[in-house]
Structure formats: C-alpha cells, structure tokens
Chains A and B, each alone.
Chain A
Amino acid sequence: MVNDFAFKIATVNGTGSASANGLLMQSIYRMGIPVSGKNVFPSNIQGLPTWYEIRVSKKGYTSRPAHIDLVVALNPATYAKDVSAVKRGGWLLYDSSWPLDAALARDDIQILGVPFGQLCVAAFAGDRERTLMRNIAYTGALVALLDIDMDVIGEMIREQFAKKRSLLDSNFRALHLGYDYTKKHYACPLPIRLERMNATRDQVLLDGNTAAALGCLYAGATVGAWYPITPATSLMEAFSGFCKRYRVDPETKRNNFCILQAEDELAAAGITIGAGWAGARAFTSTAGPGISLMSEFIGLAYYTEIPGVFFDIQRTGPSTGMPTRTQQADLLSIAYLSHGDTKHIALFPSSPAECFSMSVTAFDLTERFQTPVFVVSDLDIGMNDWMVPRLTWDDSYRPDRGKVLGADDLERVKRFSRYLDVDGDGIAARSLPGVHPKGAYFVRGSGHDKHAAYTEDADEYREVVDRLAKKLKTAEGAVPEPEMHRNGGKISVGIVALGGTHAALLEARDALAANGIEVDYMRIKAFPFGTVVREFLETHETIFVVEQNRDAQLRSLLAIETGLARDRMTPVLDYGGMPLTADFVTSEVTRHLEARVA
C-alpha cells in the first residue's frame, strides 16, 4: 500500500486546519506523488464539522476515494461517524488528550492516540496559538505515520513563514511535538506510506476558480461584475488579485480593469451586458440562485445579441440547497435560460486546466456569436485543488472579436443594419457605441426587425428569431467537440458525462475493463451539441448517462436536442452533494448490465 491510499482529517470549521491540510497535500505532491484533495466543508464560518480527504494514487487517479484507510479524528462531535468511516484493517488517529469513548472502539481497525491538545498546551501560550499549533502537531504525526519527507515539509513551512520568524519557530516546534511523540509510541511508518516518485513534475496544484480567473485575465477581460455567493466568490476574488498584480498601468499606476461588486445578481448581469454592449470583454461569476435572478437579463442579451461571459459555479439546489456541496443540476435551466424561445452556448470544463482554457474560448465565442456564453463549472472543480498540467499560453493568441464594424467599415457602408445576416451564418455584424455616426442604432428587447427598428409584424419578427436559431446552429460547429475515449472496434456500451465527473469516469472505465466490461466514453464539452454527439448516441446499443442531479438533466437535454428516445439512455445519478466516486459508476453500470442479462 505504498502511494495508494486515502486519508481524511476531521476537524472543526474555523480552527485553522485548512492550511495544515493544504500543507500535507502539497508536501505529498512535492514528493512527486499524484495526489488530490477534497474539502468537505459546512456552510458556516466557525464551529461546525469539516473534513479534508486526501487521496494518494500512484496511478494518478484523482477522483474522490471510495474508501478511507486512515481517519484523523480531531472533532469529538463527529467521533462516531469518523470511527465508522475507517476501512476494515485501517487506522484511526485521534487526540488522546481526551480518551475515546470505549463504546466507539472497533476491533477491526487500529486506534492510535496522540495527546495533541496536551502537548500544545504545555508548549504554547494563549488559546489561539494552541489551537493553531494542534493542526501542525497532527501534521507532524502524519509525517511520521505516512513517511512524508521531513525535508519537503520543512521547506514548505520555511517558504510560508519566511518573513515571520516567531511563527516559523512555533510551527517547527509543533511539527516535532507530533512527530516525536508518534515515532516514540508507534511503529512508524504504517503499511500505508509514501515513497518519492517523479510523477508530478510538469503539474501544478490549482483550483478551478483561480484557473478561470486567470483565463479571464489572459483573454483580456476588463470588466468584472459580481455579487458574493459560494462557491463562485473566489473566482472574482482571484481575478481581482491577478488584476492588481498584472493590470496596473506601470506609468500612471491606474487600473486597466474595472471590477464592480454589484448590489445583487440582477445588477451584475446588467453591468456585464452594458459593458459587453460598449465593447469590453465582460463577465460575471455566480451560482444557481444568481443564475435564477439573471434570467431576464440573459433573455435580453440573447435577443439583442450582446456578448458576455457568465460563470455558473454550480452547487446543490433547489433554492439555497446546500451551498457548500457540489452538483450538476443547473444544466437544463442554463441551456434554455429566460422566457421565450432561448438557447445558449455553454461550456463544461472538467478540470481547472479546462477552466483556464475554456474561459478564453468563452470570450471568443461570446464575441463571435454575440450571445451570452456560460461556463458551467461546479464547487468540486472550482474550490478544490486539483493536479493539472502546468497552464501554458500561446503568445500569438489574439482575441476573436467577431464581426465588429470599425469606423472605416462604417464609413464605407451605405446603411448599417444591425441585424442583417450578410454571410448566411446567422451572425450579423455589430457596431460599438461612439465609434461612428453611421453605427448608431437602438438596442431593444422588444420586437425588432433586421434594421433594429421596432416591429410587431409577424414576418419581420420571425425573420429575426429564425436567424437566431440559425446562429446557434452555426455555433454547434464552433464549440469544443466532445472528448472521445473509444476502445476501437465495435463496443456496444457507451457512457456519456460532462464536467467534473470526468476523473471518476476515467477511473471507472479502467475498473470496468478490469472486470471484463469494455465501454466507450464520451465527455461532452459544450452545448449546443453537434453531430458527433448524436452519432455516439446512435451507434451504441446501451448508453449510460452519468451526472450529478436527481432528474437526469443531461439525459433530458440529449433527448430533446438529438431526438434520441429517453429510454435508450440509462441514467446513473449521484446527487447527494459529494464529488462522484469511480466506485459508484462501476457498480451502477455493472448492476444495470447484469440486470439486463438476467
């Protein structure tokens, strides 16, 4: 069990354990071992239980572990739950300053006690420091138990506290408190342990929201509007941080960006649309409740053909749902958001790396098609650290501004008609305000004809909305194609999924193959779907659609858009709010296939 196990730390929200957990994960990563971490946190600032799950996988699997080998239990309120979470034959490490209730003991696991609390009370003064250092003390115990490289973790602590001498000393002291005690009392390391590898060299540890913010920065977005909401907040905060670092004019010290914290999501959408209309690359980031509020404005942007990028970092719904848990339950609402006949381009990143690249794509698409574009991420991708290839940038990139008539173009045209389809692709050219007198026109969400004039005429109205449909049809060929994992040869079982479940699906596919079940897997990257999606569905006898919502929304969307009968697609649904495990997919697929044979 070298480099192939999972452990979980149970603490209390607000006690400072997050940085210790980050330190642990990053140390393993710097030992060159593939690792992933999932923060299971409450919707609360202080006092409720929180968990951090770390999976070590030499094969590089990064989906949520199905079994936990070791639990570090530091929150008495969840002892019962944490003890029962340990896999048979596993370990429980707890704070023995307060003895564990005998009733909780299990004889199929080993229980290791280290008096972290007492050690810290003896070594440190003040409640806050004692609480904080207890986290570093359990980190020290894990260094001993799992054989984490002391040099690596030491280097990281030094990096972190380079400028705070006193903190540096206390951190080292605390680390050794846990380490020395554990070494002295237990046979270290455990059979689950780490050994240096060389598998993370060209990788980074990054969360999706930071990566998306970088994408916005690199794509040249200048206006960001937002209203705080979990799990989308960190995206705009990261953007703001990057802007302060990279976007301050060196001469004037003034900002080459304008970030507006709006009064609500209605305003955030309005600001995005106003800025998009005026010619800036503008975006907003929100979650389900915000998307609901933006609905009317999205319809306006769709009908008046104004660009803007809308990030939806999904969390569980309906309503306020569980704000700190993940889901993929906004798919249907986003595809057709707003009243009337509407349909929107949406991109579905599966990892932080794609959050970066797809943000850039989103800005190109929104300007090219002059319509709102959604980047549909989720809490798991957005807020957890993932191991991804180092992000790269091609300096030859130039923004695709789409069909925008400049002053010279406008000078030449006889009459500018805002909604006239000259090229037959459904996309009309736009003008930006202030550029040229001939470019002036009236934007209206009410019925308009191809010249942008008000109309209530049936034919003129139809001409515009039919062109919008055509434009979205053109977009099918321009959005990213699905990622195909085919075995070659004739395979009758196909799995379809999108977004953050990808890691679990790659792993499930291997596990199924190991059990003799070969499947083709298609990961959808965008909406509207193109012909490739339809083909995949049509050419597989059995299709599983794996997604994280109750109502099989992706399956519905596939049925509506491709015409394939709904009952040709078997839903595999996991919607409790936790990241998907490969185990769940494997067992569900196997169960269905066996039921079919029986």
Chain B
Amino acid sequence: MTSIQKPPVRHPSLQINALGLTKRDYEGAMSTLCAGCGHDSVTAAMVQAFFELDIPPHRAAKMSGIGCSSKTTAYFMRQSHGFNSVHGRMPSVASGANAANRDLIYIGVSGDGDSLSIGLGQLCHAIRRNVDMLYVLENNGVYGLTKGQFSASADVGSKSKRGESNVQRPIDPVLLALSLGATFVARGFSGDKTRLVPMLKAGLRHKGFALIDVISPCVSFNDHEGSTKSYRFTRENYHELAPVDFVPLQREITAETEQGASVSVTMHDGSILRFREVASEYDPTDRDAAYAHVRARQDRGEIVTGLLYIDERSADMHETAHTVERPLVDVPFEALCPGKAELEKLMDEYR
C-alpha cells in the first residue's frame, strides 16, 4: 500500500526476496481510500505476504467484486493481473479463471457487503466447490462505498454513524464457512498486521478455498462510539485464539524441536503451519469444536481470531472435476478436437 507516490528508484538497502524483488515491487497504485481505512492495512499485509512467499507477481490473479474493499486489489502487486468484476459475483469469475488456468495463484478480496448480501450465494458455492484461492473478506459492518448503510455482518445493537441501532441478526462469515465445510477458516484484524501476514501466507499456500475474515474498520462510517466494528471495540474484544506461524517448505525449520505447547499442521505442499500456545482444548482440525468455540466466545462478546480451522485433505475443485494437471489453457487443440474421422464414425450413430 502506498498513500503517497514514491519515486521509482530502488534503495540499495532494501531487502530482496528469492526472485530478486523488493517489497516495493509488490506495491500497487496509490490508494484512493480514506486515510486510516482498515483496508489499506490489509493491503500492506498483502504486500508483505506475497513478497515473503516469493510469488512472481504476474503469476497471481487478484479478483474482486465492487466496494472500497474490492478496490484494494489495485493497491498491491502492480504487476499482477487484476479483475474488478461485478458486485458480489467475484467468486464465479475466479472459479472460471481457475477452471481455465489452475496454475495461477488466485487471491480474492471482497467486502462484507459484497460477500454477505448480493454475493452470499456465490461465496457459499465457492466454498462448496473448494476453489483453490485465498478469499479475504474485509469486514467493516457497513457498505463503505455507498456511504454507511448497515451490512449483513453488522451486529445487533451496533450503532450507525447517525445513531440508529441495527436490529437484524448478523451473518458471521466464519461460522458460515465452518458450517458449509470450508477447508480453511480464519479471522484477523487489519490493525494487527504481525498476525495477519502469516495467516495470509498460510491461506495462499492452502490447497483449496481459504477464507480469512478480516475485521477492517471503516473510519468514515463505522468507527464511532457504539459501533462493534470500530478500531476501539475490536481491540478491546479481540482474542487471539491460536497465533500461527507459517513455515514455508523452502525454509524448513524443524517444527518438532519447538513442539511443546504448539500444534503443527503440514500443508499439502509440505510447508508447516505451527499454532503457538494453543489453548489446550483447541484443535484446529476439529470442525465441530472450532464452531462451538467461536460461538461460545461470541456469546461472551469476544471476537476470536487466528486460524480457526484447517483441513488439508479435502479435494479442491479440480480434484473433484478430475481435470488434467496442466492448465486447460495449455492443452493443445489437437488433444481437444476429435477430428474428421471420429465425426464420420459418430454420424453413423445418427443414421
């Protein structure tokens, strides 16, 4: 994220990654969001995560719908392919793109308005298909871009800027995803970049649909007294359940030596996820327990964060569809068209 235009020169002391790129190479256009918008912090975490994972920008596809949150894809990784689709319907575009080219790294950014109302169906079905992508839901409880209406994630009793109280029950993306069978479910806070970055990295490496609900306050319309999605409220009620370390395959650290109070999950590509200081009763691979835990804490008014659930064994969309391993866009026409002779034979069946 850049809020001010910076000169294109590279400072010699800038750290470079395995591709020889600096963090600056992972930045995007200048943000046009309000100063202080939570989304900009997510963008910054995104820059960090992609940089640290050594992802070649042009191999990533940034998908989004419509909303302030959906705009953020323009603000990181300038040199990757971006796609602002229509309001709420990014998951289908991402599914189609993934169907055509499974080798790209898909990252979807959406808002609570985009995902939980107009796009609720598409979100559910992307989860159901287990499309291999990271889906970041920047959750601020309001429609930012249309200026402050309550969204479907607004809590009962949360106050709007004009002082109205929300009366409808919220849809919680985390509980929704858990109940739909999502294979990676996490919640983060835009104000806590340190913990968000490993979460994003793990989500990017997860084989399947990784949902990260990021509480991302809207400073213009939902950061006041009485709001339950303000910075202050979130900080005060924020409970890190299972801090996570992402240990990429390439830089393997022997997780075993630090076992102790941690739980390790091996990802499909061999990278390791380590949950530190996990509450002793918590098992991030037990869906029912995860659901019960999040619910119980929620009833106490706490916002549970961290990587809440992970399942590395479920088949993703291509596995279910039994598609060839190479991207369909790379399959030569000769392998696709059965040719003249076959058509002749086939025609005999329609005699």
Residues of A within 8 A of B (CB): 29-30, 204-206, 214, 217-220, 222-223, 225, 246-247, 249, 252, 254-260, 262-264, 266-280, 282, 296-297, 300, 390-395, 397-399, 432-437, 439-446, 454
CA gap between A205 and B317 in the complex, in Å = 37
Q: Mark B315-351, 1 if CB is under 8 A from A, else 0.
A: 0011001111100110101011111101110110011
Query: Which of B93, B125, B324 lies in contact with A254, CB distance below 8 A?
Result: B324
- Contact residues of B between 112 and 165, Cβ < 8 Å to A: 121-122, 124-125, 129
- A260 → B minimal CB distance (Å): 6
Which residues of chain A are within 8 angstroms of B323 by Cβ–Cβ distance? 254-258
Are B321 and A258 closer than 8 Å at their CB atoms? yes
4 A-B pairs with least C-beta separation = A274-B96, A270-B92, A280-B100, A271-B96
Closest to A252 in B: B324
B329 touches A432 (CB 8 A): yes
What chain B residues lie within 8 Å of A276 (beta carbons)? 96, 100
Q: Is the CB of B350 within 8 A of A205?
A: yes
A440 and B92 contacting across the interface, CB-CB below 8 Å: no
CB-CB nearest in chain B for A444: B84
A434, B328: Cβ atoms closer than 8 Å? no
Which of A246, A270, A434 contacts B58, CB < 8 Å? A434
Q: Which residue of A lies closest to B90 (CB)?
A: A270
Whether B328 pairs with A280 at a CB distance below 8 angstroms is yes
Q: Is B57 within 8 A of A440, CB to CB?
A: yes
Q: Specify which of B80, B104, B325, B333 is in contact with A399 (CB 8 Å cutoff).
A: B333
Q: Please give, as numbers and ranges, the residues of chain B lying within 8 Å of A435 by CB-CB distance.
A: 58
CB<8 Å pairs between A and B, sample of 25: A206-B350, A218-B337, A222-B329, A247-B336, A249-B324, A256-B323, A256-B328, A257-B323, A270-B90, A274-B63, A274-B96, A274-B97, A274-B98, A278-B96, A278-B104, A279-B100, A279-B101, A279-B329, A280-B329, A397-B337, A399-B333, A434-B59, A442-B73, A443-B81, A443-B82
Which residues from A are CB-within-8-Å of B233?
A: none
When chains A and B are docked, how far (Å) is the Cα of A440 from the Cα of B99?
Answer: 19
The answer on a CB contact under 8 Å between A257 and B350 is no
Contact between chains at A440 and B96 (CB < 8 Å): no
Mark B residues whose CB is within 8 Å of A.
56-59, 61, 63, 73-74, 78-86, 89-101, 103-104, 121-122, 124-125, 129, 317-318, 321-325, 328-329, 331, 333, 335-340, 342-344, 346-347, 350-351
| Distance of A130 Cα from B343 Cα, bound (Å) | 39
Q: What B residues does A441 contact at CB under 8 A? A: 81-82
Known: A274-B94, A278-B101, A433-B101. A260 touches B321 (CB 8 A): yes
Assess A393 versus B121: contact at CB under 8 Å? Given A223-B99, A297-B86, A442-B82: no
Q: In the docked arrangement, what's the CA distance between A397 and B350, Å?
A: 24
Q: Are A274 and B103 in contact (CB under 8 A)?
A: no
Q: A254-B325, A297-B86 are in contact. Are A270 and B95 (CB under 8 A)?
A: yes
A255 with B84: CB separation less than 8 A: no
Q: Which of A217, A277, A446, A454 contacts B338 (CB 8 A)?
A: A217
Q: Which residue of B lies closest to A269 (CB)?
A: B92
Dominant SS among interface residues on chain A = mixed
B333 and A398 within 8 A (CB): yes
> Which B residues are CB-close (under 8 A) to A263?
121-122, 124-125
A18 to chain B, nearest CB (A): 17
Report the nearest B residue to A439, measured CB to CB: B58
| Distance, CA A247 to CA B334, complexed state (A) | 11
In the bound complex, residues from chain A placing their C-beta under 8 Å from that of B328 are: 222-223, 256-258, 280
Given contacts A206-B350, A444-B84, contact A274 B340 (CB under 8 A): no
Of A252, A392, A444, the residue contacting B340 (CB under 8 A) is: A392
Most chain A beta-carbon contacts within 10 A, residue among B100, B104, B339: B100
A256 touches B335 (CB 8 A): yes
State which of A268, A296, A394 has its C-beta within 8 Å of the C-beta of B86.
A296
Given known A-B contacts A252-B325, A258-B323, A282-B96, A392 and B82 have beta carbons under 8 A apart: no
Whether B129 and A260, one on each chain, are in contact in the complex, defined by CB atoms closer than 8 angstroms, is yes
Q: Among the listed A257, A258, A267, A395, which residue makes an inter-chain contact with B89, where contact means beta carbons less than 8 Å apart?
A: A267
With A277-B83, A279-B101, A398-B333 as known contacts, state yes or no: A270 contacts B339, CB within 8 Å: no
B93 touches A391 (CB 8 A): no
**B350 pairs with A204, CB closer than 8 A:** yes
A443 touches B83 (CB 8 A): yes
B350 touches A300 (CB 8 A): no
A residues less than 8 Å from B86 (CB atoms):
270, 296-297, 300, 445
Nearest CB of B to A111, in Å: 36
B100-A393 in contact (CB<8A)? no
Do A280 and B99 touch across chains, with their CB atoms under 8 A apart? yes
B339 nearest CB neighbor, chain A only:
A395
Task: Assess the B121–A278 pair: CB atoms within 8 A.
Answer: no
**Is A272 in contact with B351, judged by CB distance below 8 angstroms?**
no
Assembly CA distance A273 to B98 (angstroms):
11
Asked if B340 and A394 sit within 8 Å, CB to CB, the answer is yes
| Known pairs A260-B99, A394-B340, A440-B58; A277 contacts B93 (CB<8 A) | yes
Q: How far is the CA of A311 from the CA of B83 in the complex (A)?
A: 24
Chain A residues whose C-beta falls within 8 Å of the C-beta of B347 in the assembled complex? 204, 390-391
Q: State in angstroms the CA–CA spacing of A272 and B99 once bound together.
A: 10
CB distance from B333 to the nearest CB of A (A): 5
Q: Is A258 within 8 A of B340, CB to CB?
A: no
Question: How far apart are the CA atoms of A415 and B350 in the complex, in Å?
Answer: 53
- Complex Cα distance, B329 from A488, in Å, reads 49
In angstroms, how far is the closest chain B Cβ from the Cβ of A333?
18
Task: Name B95's contact: one of A274, A300, A395, A443 (CB within 8 Å).
Answer: A274
Contact A271:B338 (CB < 8 A) given known A258-B321, A443-B83: no
Determine if A278 and B84 form an interchain contact, defined as CB atoms under 8 angstroms apart: no
Complex Cα distance, B95 from A57, in Å, reads 49
Contact B96–A437 (Cβ < 8 Å): no
Residues of B within 8 A of A264 (CB): 121
What chain A residues lie within 8 Å of B125 (beta carbons)?
A: 262-263, 267
Q: Are A274 and B93 in contact (CB under 8 A)?
A: yes
Q: Is the CB of A275 within 8 A of B99?
A: yes
A259→B342 CA distance, assembly (Å): 22
Q: A439-B81, A445-B84 are in contact. List 19 more A-B contacts (CB 8 A).
A: A222-B336, A254-B323, A255-B322, A256-B335, A258-B323, A259-B321, A260-B317, A260-B321, A263-B122, A266-B89, A278-B61, A300-B85, A434-B58, A434-B103, A437-B79, A440-B57, A440-B82, A442-B81, A445-B86
**Chain A residues positioned under 8 Å from B124 (CB to CB):** 263
- Give bound CA distance, A297 to B329, whole Å: 22
What is the CB-to-nearest-CB distance from A281 to chain B, in angstroms, rounded to a whole number?
Answer: 9
Rounded to whole angstroms, the CA-CA distance of A94 and B89 in the bound complex is 55
